[in-house]
Amino acid sequence: MGKDAGFSAVAAFGSPRKTRLISCLLLVLVTFALYNPVGRDPYLNWDDNAYVYENFHVHAGLTWETVVWAFTTHTESNWHPVTWMSHALDVTLFGLNPAGPHYVNVLLHAANVVLLFLFLEAATGFVWRSLAVAALFAVHPLNVESVAWIAERKNVLSMLFFLAGLMAYVWYARKPSVGRYLAVFLSFALGLMAKPQVITFPCVLLLLDYWPLGRTRDLQGEGGSGHNWRYLFLEKIPLFALSAASAWITMRAQAGAMHFEYPVRVRLENAALSYGKYMLKAFWPAGLAPLYPHPGVTVSVPQAVVAAIALVAVTIAVFLSRRRYLIVGWLWFVGTLVPMIGLVQVGVQAMADRYAYIPLIGLFVMVCWGAGDLFLNLHVPRAGPFLAAGAVLAALTAVTQRQIGFWQDNLVLWTHTLEVTKENYIAEDCVGEALEAQGKLDEAARHSENAVRINPKDPIANLNLGAYQQRKGNYPSAITRYQAVLRFTQNPRLLAAALTDLGYAYYSAGQLEAAQRSFDSALGEQSLNPQAWMGLGLVAAKEGNVALAAEDYAKALRLQPSVAGYLLLADALETEGQKESAQAARKEAARLSRDLNGAAEHVQ
């Protein structure tokens, strides 16, 4: 058992096992106490819809059909079947109540905190330093996004398997065997199937071989039993093969989300700036937001040069220090960020807090081990390190509590985002949708107009402005907006939404043939689309084909029960002479509505 700053963990708690148990319990209690408020948070109006509350595959719960879909879909430009299945399991357990998946995210984060502590303590023998790293990871504000955002289940879930794989590797390194290697391999495979951010896992294992596991021959002397680097690399060939397979699958899945309009120079400059900003936010976590817009060709070249120089300077200083934990911590931070740093630009963000979830550990190791050595060399009294750690953790906890508070409401979060970022059209979209949900339609439209001003090709803003014009009865203008969305996006979910709304605009304008084409096209993009099936039913009823209308209404209701749908179905069935079936449909409508007469008037 290691000692930290001259203070024995065993002396504190009596035995190594008791020390681990008490440390793990403290970490879990702190994590749950800090993140308990997220259980009252709603779904976020960005991505949570696609991942949960508007995803009808997930709505079905964890069924065999959902499992098959999870392994075969590239929905949302990702292949992460384990993540999809976890969301489906949430629905099976909690329905569509957001409290359930929020608390599952907190539970996964707490498990990651504990696994991080156990891994570091097992690999290094240092208890207090490992505990300090885990505590920093538990309470750091940069991790709020990964925990408080239901759609970021993939982040906390992939980290769970990443850390399980590191634990398995420590176990394997102590006594190599095929069974132990398979445990490493399986953990890595599950991590990749949760989110490919863990693709650098084999490289992290090579870092662990250098420190703290000391498996390299150069660290054990000429007569030592360590391995050369060639052996250690060849040992990980199966893991690198998994990384290559994951990279190929990810490139295929994200083909539609990649942005090739940015030249290589711009991507390199943004990458350098992002590294600097991640480091800054790690030590001064201010101005945090769910999305930082990519500056595009307006990226500041002088700032990028300064950031690149700082990156090189830190790298040189770390290697000149000859301290293995500094070298490993720094390469962990820099290396695990490479897949998310924007060299291949995916999405509209310049960087994201959630991307730092794994890389932060490297910086925390550098800080905690460096501070531990410094306290030892300066012969700081025993209480000094604990007071310093307590002050830092208290400050970070206060900032994290404030950051968690922003996630209590969509309008609060995205208004804050507009305050701390510039020209953020995604935030404008989300503020507009939050205002629309409150019935403030004119105010919502102004934010959508701001989004279009910033990015005229923003599909969400055009979609929302089309809906606004449609409510005003301005169908030609709404149709123009929806047609613009079809030109500006390749996202099947957005295409389906635009085609569905376009169908209703054509229907309201009396253009039934165009409406039917739009609804059919919407189903071609998204077959589980209740609104499109309902629209086809309305068109069929208008054309006098009541039997077909009833079939289409029934298909819509199987996907999404609604009062209006059951009432329309009841009318169609009654017209067809199916009195008993019509009465059953009205009973279902009554079960869903407290004011059936009012609902019936609204449908008419």
In whole angstroms, give the CA distance from residue 396 to residue 309. 28
For residue 15, pLDDT beyond 90: no
Q: Which helix (H) or strand (E) holds 351?
A: strand 349-351
Position 477 scores a pLDDT of 97
For residue 223, pLDDT beyond 50: no
Q: Say which residue, 11 or 44, is predicted with more confidence.
A: 44
Check if the beta carbon of residue 170 is closer than 8 Å to that of residue 62: no
Check if the beta carbon of residue 528 is closer than 8 Å to that of residue 56: yes
For residue 224, pLDDT beyond 50: no
DSSP result, 279-344: HHHHHS--S--S-EE--GGG--HHHHHHHHHHHHHHHHHHHHHT-HHHHHHHHHHHHHHGGGSSSS
Q: Let me know if residue 280 belongs to a domain.
A: yes
Mean pLDDT of 316-345: 95
For tokens 């329309």, what's the residue?
568
Q: What CATH number does the domain containing 562 carry?
A: 1.25.40.10
Positive or negative torsion for Cα 395, 396, 397, 402: positive
Check if the beta carbon of residue 460 is closer than 8 Å to that of residue 484: no
Q: How confident is the model at residue 599 (pLDDT cuts 50, 70, 90)?
A: very low
Mean pLDDT of 493-500: 96
In whole angstroms, give the CA distance from residue 366 to residue 362. 6
Q: Let me know if residue 188 belongs to a domain.
A: yes
With 0-12 / 13-18 / 19 or more C-beta atoms within 10 angstroms meaning exposed / middle / buried, residue 97 is exposed
Q: Say which residue, 124 or 344, is predicted with more confidence.
A: 124
Q: How confident is the model at residue 258 (pLDDT cuts 50, 70, 90)?
A: low
In whole angstroms, give the CA distance from residue 325 to residue 362. 9
User: Would you put residue 47 in left (φ > 0), alpha (ψ -120 to 50) or beta?
Assistant: left
Check if the beta carbon of residue 91 is closer than 8 Å to that of residue 58: yes
Check if the beta carbon of residue 119 is closer than 8 Å to that of residue 167: yes
Nearest of 581, 404, 456 to residue 36 by alpha carbon: 404
Q: Let me know if residue 79 belongs to a domain.
A: no
Q: What is the pLDDT of residues 510-533, one digit of tens each?
A: 999 999 999 999 999 999 999 999
Q: How many residues does the chain have?
A: 604
Q: Let me know if residue 73 belongs to a domain.
A: no
Position 252 scores a pLDDT of 87
For tokens 């790298």, what's the residue?
315
Q: What is the token pair recorded at 386?
A: 């604990």
Nearest of 531, 533, 539 to residue 510 by alpha carbon: 539
Q: Let me know if residue 449 belongs to a domain.
A: no
For tokens 């279902």, what's the residue?
588
Position 218 scores a pLDDT of 64
Q: How confident is the model at residue 357 (pLDDT cuts 50, 70, 90)?
A: very high
Mean pLDDT of 424-442: 97
Q: Let me know if residue 263 belongs to a domain.
A: yes
Position 254 scores a pLDDT of 81
Residue where a domain terminates, one of 357, 378, 406: 406
From first CA to last CA, the distance across the chain in angstroms is 75
Q: Residue 17: count other Cβ atoms within 10 Å of its Cβ.
A: 10
Determine the Cα angle at 368 with ends 365 and 370, to 5°: 95
Q: Let me know if residue 234 belongs to a domain.
A: yes
DSSP designation for 216: B
Position 220 scores a pLDDT of 54
Q: What is the pLDDT of residues 363-417, one digit of tens each?
A: 999 999 999 999 999 988 988 889 999 999 999 999 999 999 999 999 999 999 9
Position 14 scores a pLDDT of 61
Check if the beta carbon of residue 55 is closer than 8 Å to that of residue 48: no
Share of residues in the chain with pLDDT > 70 (%): 93
Share of residues in the chain with pLDDT > 90 (%): 84
Position 222 scores a pLDDT of 46
Q: What is the token pair recorded at 229?
A: 């680097």
Mean pLDDT of 503-510: 96
Position 604 scores a pLDDT of 44
Measured CA to CA in angstroms, residue 308 lies from 263, 275, 504 at distances of 18, 8, 52
Q: What is the token pair recorded at 403?
A: 């950051």
Nearest of 198, 204, 205 to residue 154 by alpha carbon: 198
For residue 597, pLDDT beyond 70: no
Residues 130 and 279 in one domain: yes
Position 226 scores a pLDDT of 73
**Looking at the 3D structure of the chain, how many domains does it have?**
2
Measured CA to CA in angstroms, residue 322 lies from 209, 216, 219, 328, 335 at distances of 16, 16, 12, 11, 19
Position 263 scores a pLDDT of 87
Check if the beta carbon of residue 575 is closer than 8 Å to that of residue 587: no
Residues 540 and 391 in one domain: no
Q: Let me know if residue 189 belongs to a domain.
A: yes
For residue 12, pLDDT beyond 60: no
What domain range includes position 547? 532-604
Q: Say which residue, 568 or 12, is predicted with more confidence.
A: 568
Nearest of 524, 547, 543, 523 to residue 533 by alpha carbon: 523
* Per-position b or e across 524-536, b if 16+ CB within 10 A of its CB: ebbebbbbbbbbb
> In the Cβ-directed half-sphere of 177, how many Cα atoms lie within 13 Å?
7
Q: How confident is the model at residue 50 (pLDDT cuts 50, 70, 90)?
A: very high
DSSP designation for 221: -
* Per-position b or e across 150-170, b if 16+ CB within 10 A of its CB: bbbbbbbbbbbbbbbbbbbbb
- Count the helices and strands in the chain (H runs, E runs): 32, 4
Mean pLDDT of 564-569: 92
Q: What is the token pair recorded at 373?
A: 């050595």
Q: What is the pLDDT of residues 163-205, one digit of tens each?
A: 999 999 999 999 999 999 999 999 999 999 999 999 999 999 9
Q: How confident is the model at residue 271 (pLDDT cuts 50, 70, 90)?
A: very high
Residue 56: CB partners within 8 Å, gap ≥ 6? 528, 530, 559, 560
Residue where a domain terminates, one of 352, 377, 406: 406
> In the Cβ-directed half-sphere of 436, how many Cα atoms lie within 13 Å?
19
In whole angstroms, give the CA distance from residue 525 to residue 498. 11
In whole angstroms, give the CA distance from residue 145 to residue 154. 12
Q: What is the mean pLDDT of the chain?
A: 92
Q: How confident is the model at residue 219 (pLDDT cuts 50, 70, 90)?
A: low
For residue 559, pLDDT beyond 60: yes
Q: How confident is the model at residue 128 (pLDDT cuts 50, 70, 90)?
A: very high
For the chain, helix, strand, coil in percent to 5 are: 75, 0, 20
pTM of the predicted protein model: 0.93
For residue 460, pLDDT beyond 70: yes
Residue where a domain terminates, one of 366, 382, 406: 406
Position 342 scores a pLDDT of 86
Q: Reduce the DSSP state of residue 15 to 3 states and report it.
A: coil
